[in-house]
Amino acid sequence: MKIISVREHSHYKDKAIAYFQKSWPSVLPVIYEDCIAHSITAKNVLPQWYLLEKDGNLIGCAGLITNDFISRGDLYPWICALFIEEEQRGNEYGSLLIEKAKADARASGFKYVYLCTSHIGFYEKYDFKYIGQGHHPWGEESRIYEIALD
């Protein structure tokens, strides 16, 4: 099992773009292409994009970004786009990506990490706490969770 930081391993850029686009087809393809491509040479610590590789195959992804298209601009960074291939679910592989994002956020001096989702029950298993609702530009709401980085 290997977690790949696309910023640290820029030769994964095109694979990362394609994988995020495939994993999140409801997001305009140009969003991941633009954000991942520019993250490699970003002047700041964010955004970060991660791939999860098992036996040479990509099985998951996640990001650590400044805002996940949510109204709470006062909160950051955000874990976003967490995805594990369906046949790999149930093995807690998502927790590996969550822990990597938390470690990078902590190393960058952040005290909390946030995420927004419609899922109830999943992130609570990893000690995320529900703190309220947030609003997306397209009119939907999402639950907002936070976790302290001790």
pLDDT in tens, 34-43: 999 999 999 9
The confidence score (pLDDT) of residue 34 equals: 96
Would residue 109 be called left, alpha or beta, if left means φ above 0 and alpha means ψ between -120 and 50 degrees? left
Cis, bond preceding 77 (omega within 30 deg of 0): yes
- Is the confidence at residue 103, as pLDDT, over 90? yes
The alpha carbon torsion through 23, 97, 78, 113 (nearest 10 deg) reads: 160
The confidence score (pLDDT) of residue 138 equals: 87
- Is the confidence at residue 150, as pLDDT, over 90? no
Residue at token pair 């786009």: 81
Residues 58-77 have a mean pLDDT of 96
The alpha carbon torsion through 69, 71, 76, 78 (nearest 10 deg) reads: -40
Quote the percentage of the chain above a pLDDT of 90.
Answer: 93
Q: Which residues contact 2 (CB under 8 A, 6 or more apart)?
A: 52, 53, 54
Quote the percentage of the chain above a pLDDT of 70.
Answer: 100
Q: How confident is the model at residue 88 (pLDDT cuts 50, 70, 90)?
A: very high
The confidence score (pLDDT) of residue 85 equals: 98
Residues 123-130 have a mean pLDDT of 96
Residues 31-50 have a mean pLDDT of 96
C-alpha closest to that of 51 among 97, 105, 88: 97
